[in-house]
Amino acid sequence: MSQEEFNAVAQRIIKARTDACATGPISADYPHFGMDDAYAVQQLVNRERLEKGGRVTGYKIGLTSEAVQRQLGVDQPDYGVLFAEMERRSGALIDCSQLIAPKAEGEIGFIFKNDLDRKDLTFTEMLAEIDCFMPVVEIVDSVVRDWKINIVDTVADNASSALYMVGAKRFDPSGVDFTRLSVSIETEGGDPVHGTGAACLGNPLNATWWLARKLYDLGTPIRKGHLVLSGAMAPMVSIEPGMQLRFSFDQLDELVLKAG
């Protein structure tokens, strides 16, 4: 693998995002790329975003379903970076013309009160650093045509993360059984989609702990105030212009996504 290849793929992703026009699978054109190569590309794409004034607000975790991991031939989740310009409020209109093939997921987001910058962070230490949690809708979108992706494609493309939508409510994590938190996704004329926190590596906290340790090892620890999206609680739902989706997080909040 060469830096020239990394640069070429990064520019290909940036152009696809800028033009909101899909490209062919990166993995097909660069079959020798592995996960580390894909993360190298992701870093280049995100570096350009930072150079243009982007500000990191947190991270998203993907591939938290063991079934999807087996399908893609991996044994761990992946992650992408959240930027301030990606955030939307519940009820805001999502402009589908700026996206390629968007889908939405219901997730639990955790906000941290201190930097997680210690070696061999324990699960208990991580729990103590969670300031609050909140329901979040992540809008994922792939630059690869028809979502024909493998692990290299999604990692290089910032774990297929496009936008994230939040409400106004925050919750105390003390005593919460995150495995039992549930979401129901309702679309006009469609059957509801349901899921629970148990879909995220058995518990959203498991996925978040994995990410915290991973990022420390990479020298980019989770920082105070960062938001971590812990993974999909239910299957993805496609977004089409004119749709309205309701994400009902039982006993927590309801987020509304309007697509234009």
pLDDT for res 76: 82
The 10s digit of each residue's pLDDT in 73-114 is 777 899 999 999 999 999 999 999 999 999 999 999 999 999
Taking the model in full, what pTM does it have? 0.95
Helices within the chain (DSSP H only): 3-19, 26-29, 35-51, 66-72, 123-128, 151-156, 204-217
The 10s digit of each residue's pLDDT in 117-139 is 999 999 999 999 999 999 999 99
Q: What is the CA radius of gyration of the chain?
A: 17
Confidence of residue 1 (pLDDT cuts 50, 70, 90): low
State whether the Cα torsion 164-83-45-36 is positive or negative. negative
Tell me the sheet residues that pair with 88: 165
Tell me the sheet residues that pair with 185: 193, 247
Average pLDDT, the chain: 94
